[in-house]
Amino acid sequence: MGMLKVMRNEGDAMIYQANNGQVFYGHTIGILMLDTFVPMIPGDVGNATSFSYPILYRTLHKITANKMMSKEPEVLQEILLRGKELVRDGAKTITGDCGFFLYYQKELRRALNVPVFLSSLIQLPFILHLLSRDEKVGIITADSTMLTDALLYESGVTDMNRIKIKGLENTDHFYQACIAETGTLDSMLIEQEVVAVTKDLVQRDKGIKAILLECSFLPPYAKAIQKVSQLPVFDYKTMIDYVHSTFVKPRYQGYL
């Protein structure tokens, strides 16, 4: 799984064994990035400063969000190629930067000898287990027309009545920056749009008790979303941090 092998531990001294073909080390998370023209601001999955640990990235050559949704054969081929490159370079687990990567989760997992968690949507069953059976999860997504029941089934959700979706496809600034990809992003104006969408979502259905952000562009606004909703907010960042923590368990020190 790309892990540096410790051969012997003598006190504080360690002897390590190199992996064939690997020339740098110390990475847990490998992230597959769509070929986009969007400023990746702090908090975004595509900004390495969003994380307190090193990240390995690979860009999917000429694979845009629209092309990914087309499910053309070359999309899967490129995902498999870049995923294998990340593992070869030491990534112990692979994720992506778009919730709709879920369409390719099974294929990539079968091809790699590491855990794969391509979509923020795979958190849905876990979140639903946290709630009572009559409570719901509100999903904020880049484009609600693309977030179909079929995709939600892929995440493991079976009761669609417990899912409420609100998209950002009808906004001005988020649409221009993150969907039309104009190359310019005004984070303050986008935050205002995201907050407005959140207010509408939770006001329309009082049964919503948690929020999931499908899109990897949205974690920068999670704090504002939580403030206006007063609900737990899950996103790509919560998922990646959680998985990373399972690979780097600390030694606990303290006292009774």
pLDDT for the residue numbered 66: 86
Of 59, 43, 51, give the one whose Cα is nearest residue 216: 43
pLDDT for the residue numbered 71: 81
3 domain residue, yes or no:
no
129 domain residue, yes or no:
yes
Residue 254 above 70 pLDDT?
yes
147 domain residue, yes or no:
yes
Residue 6 above 70 pLDDT?
no
For residues 9 and 222, what is the distance between their CA atoms, to the nearest angstrom?
43
21 domain residue, yes or no:
no
Of 197, 191, 132, 195, give the one whose Cα is nearest residue 164: 197
- Band the pLDDT of 10: cuts 50, 70, 90: low
Residue count of the chain, please give it.
Answer: 256
What is the biggest distance separating any 2 CA atoms in the chain, rounded to whole angstroms?
62
Q: Are 129 and 188 in a shared domain? A: yes
For residues 131 and 101, what is the distance between their CA atoms, to the nearest angstrom?
26
Residue 47 above 60 pLDDT?
yes
Of 155, 162, 154, 30, give the one whose Cα is nearest residue 86: 30
Q: Tally the domains of the chain.
A: 2
Residue 212 above 60 pLDDT?
yes
As a whole-number percent, the residues of the chain with pLDDT over 90 amount to: 84
| Residue corresponding to tokens 């929020």 | 211
Q: Are 45 and 72 in a shared domain? A: yes
149 domain residue, yes or no:
yes
Residue 8 above 60 pLDDT?
no
Residue 85 above 70 pLDDT?
yes
pTM given for the model: 0.91
- Band the pLDDT of 9: cuts 50, 70, 90: low
Tell me, what CATH number does 111's domain have? 3.40.50.1860
Of 256, 246, 250, 242, give the one whose Cα is nearest residue 51: 242
Lowest mean pLDDT among 15-24, 172-181, 230-239, 246-255: 15-24
